[in-house]
Chain A
Amino acid sequence: MEERVKKIYERLQKREYRNLRRVEDVALSNDCKQISDLALRSARRLYELVAQEQAVLFEEDRIGMMRTITSVPPLLQEEEQKALYLGRFVFDSAQVGNISSDYEGILADGFLKKRALLSVQKEKYATDSKQFKELEAMNVCIDAILLLAEKYRAEAEKMGNTRLAEALKRVPMYAPNGYYEALVMMRMINFTLWLNANKHNTLGRFDEYMYPYFLKDVERGSITREEALALTQEFFIDLNFDADLYPGVQQGDNGQSLVLGGVNADGDPVWNELSELCLEASLSLNLIDPKINIRVSKETPFSVYEKGTLLTKQGLGFPQYSNDDVVIPALCKMGYDLCDARNYVVAACWEFIIPGVAYEIPNVDALNYPGIVLDVIKEKLVGVHSFDELLSEVKARIQSVCFSLAEGTKNIFVEPSPFQSIVMTDCIERAQDISEGAKYNNYGFHGAGLSTAADSLAAVKKLVFEEKAVTAQELICALDNDFNGYGNLRAQCLACPKMGNNDDFVDGIAVALTDCFADSLAGLKNERGGIFRAGTGSAMYYIWYSEKLGATPDGRKKGEPFSANYSPSLNVKFDGVLSVIHSFTKPHLERVCNGGPLTLEFHDTLFRNEEGTQKVARLVKLFVENGGHQLQLNAINRETLLDAQKHPEDHKNLIVRVWGWSGYFNELDLEYQNHIIKRIEFLS
């Protein structure tokens, strides 16, 4: 690593820069608070925050930027919020987030072109119209980002950092002239999105939208590979400086995902030198942000898997792989235009979304498969005469729960987000804030605990209906007593077929459940005219739902967690990873393609030499070639994690994958730490 970059890296590690943050919270002016139009108020807030931000640069910075304001004041006053929220559906604190900006578009235009467009648009509307106010709000946000840029330009100039000062004379006002300026502009946008209270700000298809700028430099010979690498490293490090200020369920859950590879809108492969440079930068840094995702397909060269596996080996919990061969057709079936489907990225974790033209909420709620199965068993098992009858009851319940979940999303309230609107493809043209919708307005539901549900039904099928080893009443009694006094029955339950062993007896049930989930959402529309997408992710629901759920017929005791995402149950001995892949590619994944990866944990000794690493890469390829939709691999070592619980001070940089994101182990709550320790390792 270049000396200059090393200095930046060390600054991040030492954390002393955090002392430069303001101690007191910033407050909004009364003028701002009293603006009745929320779009205008939001814009004003951003402007006031920028006005109070202090540009901080260090000698070694070429891109730089760090927050000095620690928290963004809420847009709504307490009483006002209460009134506005009343009777409304409020998701994720009513913030726009978890979407992907049109970076390609904003880089090509620059903010001044956007401003010109705004002026033209404003002419079309009466000054007291909603459209006019929203456009005006966007205009104020442009003032804000330009002010921010000017502050940094002045600071750079003052420090004699002419390169940055020169760059900031051009960006973000105009399109960048080369890779370096594009990075500065991206950093400025990223910084502003966070300061604007947007959540889960994804980075999209970095190797696609940045490539023209990179190529321009390469072609005119104005950048060497080393310089490009150093700048990419710096940009990646910069994404981490304020990460502790970014909101999420746990620290690290901030959505700074970056996508590499895949095909472009025309269907041509994207993978290029810059993709490789990003992998190299990430590998050299060992940081949780940005979280690397690779889009792959049957056409992907093996070398891409090999390079990706080097990151996995590092224990970062990424790259995560998404399979274009499954995802693109699935998105087309959901109604996305082919060119948009080809352009997909992942949201904060793994949900498939379209950059620029979508305001989707792919994580709006989650189906609790095991909860439904348990309820139905307790209510209906005694009365039904066959397993098929029971399964029909479960399906009927899934359908009614899906309907209620969909109903629950109605009458949503979202705060306007004029700055985010500027960096979307056509909010200005439509004179509409992004919070009110876009070309695509779909919602997605996770499907938590699939394996626990399938295993539970398999146990009932085998023990109650086929072997008649236990009566319905006895089983329910055992469940009600959390298996206390039913040790033998629990052992029998645990010995029943489990999803992940390539056994159609139970895998078939999982297929039926996922199909039913998809069927139940088919045809339902949300209030914005979008559809509901069924998924295989869990987000934090593998903890939230399981904590409250009683014992289940698969032998799981009360409160024990489900597996995260789309994975076999915990604490079950499996034949191995090949059988797991067989099992988990049986469901019709193109029908439940909201996102949610098969998650596999490997002991880190598997990667001890090139042979091991090569074979893991082969396994990923195998998964892709056999119709898997998404895969997340983690290299972990149980002993290391246990030691980190005892001696956190020795493991400050220990990174683990949690559900759809990587975080520092020490910064996780105990229950999330313990879950990771419990997950199965496929030892070798």
Chain B
Amino acid sequence: MSKEGIIFSIEEFSVYDGPGIRTTVFFKGCPLRCNWCHNPEGLEARVQVVKSPNGCIACGACKEVCKYKEGCVACGACIPVCPRSLIRFSGTKYTAEALSKKLLKNADYLSQAGGGVTFSGGECFMQWEFLCEVLTLLKGKVHTAIQTCGYASNEVFCKGLSLVDYVMFDLKILDEEKARKFTGVGTEQILKNFRSLSTSGVPFVVRVPLIPDVTDTEENLKAIAETVAQSNARGVELLPYNKMAGSKYTMVGKVYNPLFDEQKAPNVNLAPFVQRGIKVKIM
């Protein structure tokens, strides 16, 4: 039997994840640790138990049944005992066959509406074997897209490219030191894959999260625009920072600790792109 994938959400009618009406599949696990990450459920590549803090009456029922007080093993014993149904598993295991079957149930609508399926995360290349298997099963049946941070081995990345119809590629920070500080990884591997993408013939756009004083600086946006200008990208999509980013951390037992001024509005600066004749839009 082929390897199972771990998915933490499947969103139908996702409208900001590629052309047309799409279903977006969120893979669990990410090699980056972006300081502003708004989807901490996507960080760990394993099934987790998550608990929504809103509405908790601190009745203690979940603690009472817990046999692994030193460290959660995601046994799920606490899930049914919560009187407010606030606890759930994050992450569902799918075989490639099961996932593609589920996705294809809506293939007719997706195709009619000029859309398809988008694989996002986390980082979908973290589970690349599973990703490639699903893409193979969907090939020719529904339009596919991936949304990626670009951090993967070049071999794996190119294999993925050979199977997909559209790519949304993140360029976050091009300064090496800052990249390591704010995302946990350097730029070398990402840029290498970006070059592969650019010459692959697969249509793609570049996505830039606008984080106040981190990615939205003139210097960074210029560097990104320069890189984009030299590529075959169809355009750039800017994603202004959303103050709700920290809201899911408590749920996964983590603390949100932004190293930037969250209250500051991101600088939505289109000029570096417009000046270079790059199509740019704000999402």
Contact = CB atoms under 8 A, between A and B. Distances in A.
Contacts of B14: 684
B16 A684 contact: yes
Interface of A is mostly: helix
A305 B32 CA distance: 41
B13 A578 contact: yes
Given A487-B80, A491-B80, A609-B283, A578 B112 contact: no
B282 A609 contact: yes
Contacts of B261: none
Contact of B15 (A581, A582, A615): A615
A579 interface: yes
B10 interface: yes
Contacts of B80: 487-488, 491
Contact of B109 (A575, A626, A682, A684): A626
B109 A611 contact: no
Contacts of A582: 105-106, 109
A612 B16 contact: yes
B127 interface: no
Contacts of A417: none
B105 A684 contact: no
A561 to B, nearest CB: 18
Given A491-B80, A611-B16, A618-B113, A578 B21 contact: yes
B148 interface: no
A286 B16 CA distance: 27
B23 A578 contact: yes
B110 interface: yes
A622 B110 CA distance: 9
A619 B21 contact: yes
A684 B11 contact: yes
Contacts of B23: 576, 578
A524 interface: no
A625 B112 contact: yes
A626 B108 CA distance: 10
Interface in B87-138: 105-106, 109-110, 112-114
A57 interface: no
Contact of A606 (B10, B15, B20): B15
Contact of B13 (A488, A491, A502, A682): A682
B90 to A, nearest CB: 13
Contacts of A414: none
A611 B13 contact: no
A606 B106 CA distance: 20
Contacts of A684: 11, 13-16
B12 interface: yes
A682 B105 CA distance: 19
Given A609-B283, A625-B112, A579 B15 contact: no
B214 to A, nearest CB: 23
B102 to A, nearest CB: 8
Interface string A573-591: 0011111011000000000
Q: Classify chain A's interface size.
A: 20 to 34
Given A491-B80, A615-B20, A622-B21, A576 B11 contact: yes
Contacts of B12: 575-579, 682
Interface residues of B, number: 23
A613 B166 CA distance: 22
A581 B10 contact: no
Nearest to B79: A491
A615 B112 contact: no
Q: Which of A576, A615, A616 gathers the greatest number of chain B CB atoms within 10 Å?
A: A615
A326 B110 CA distance: 22
A615 B11 CA distance: 15
Interface string A476-509: 0000000000011001000000000010000000
A616 B11 CA distance: 15
A621 B115 CA distance: 14
Given A618-B113, A619-B21, A502 B106 contact: yes
Interface string A592-631: 0000000000000010010110011011011001100000
A612 to B, nearest CB: 5
A107 B128 CA distance: 69
Contacts of A625: 112
A577 B14 CA distance: 10
Contacts of B106: 502, 578-579, 582
Nearest to A683: B11
A502 B11 contact: no
Nearest to A625: B112
Interface string B3-18: 0000000111111100
A98 to B, nearest CB: 34
B14 to A, nearest CB: 6
Interface string A143-173: 0000000000000000000000000000000
B47 to A, nearest CB: 17
Contacts of A682: 12-13
Contacts of A615: 13, 15, 20-21, 113
Interface string A85-116: 00000000000000000000000000000000
A60 to B, nearest CB: 40
Interface string B148-170: 00000000000000000000000
A502 B10 CA distance: 14
Contacts of B81: 487
A577 B112 contact: no
A622 B11 contact: no
Given A622-B112, A622-B113, A577 B105 contact: no
Contacts of B105: 502, 579, 582
Contacts of A488: 80
Contacts of B112: 622, 625-626
B20 to A, nearest CB: 7
Interface string A406-443: 00000000000000000000000000000000000000
Contacts of B15: 606, 611-612, 615-616, 684
B111 to A, nearest CB: 10
B25 to A, nearest CB: 12
Contacts of B20: 615, 618
Nearest to B237: A611
Contacts of A577: 12-13
Interface centre among A581, A611, A621 (most CB of B within 10 A): A611
A683 B244 CA distance: 14
A380 B210 CA distance: 62
B206 to A, nearest CB: 17
A622 B109 contact: yes
A409 B14 CA distance: 47
Given A577-B13, A612-B16, A625-B112, 7 more contacts: A576-B13, A578-B110, A579-B12, A582-B109, A611-B16, A615-B20, A626-B109
8 contacts: A576-B10, A577-B13, A578-B109, A578-B110, A618-B21, A618-B113, A618-B114, A684-B11
**10 closest Cβ pairs, A-B complex:** A576-B12, A615-B15, A577-B13, A578-B106, A578-B12, A618-B113, A578-B109, A612-B15, A491-B80, A622-B113
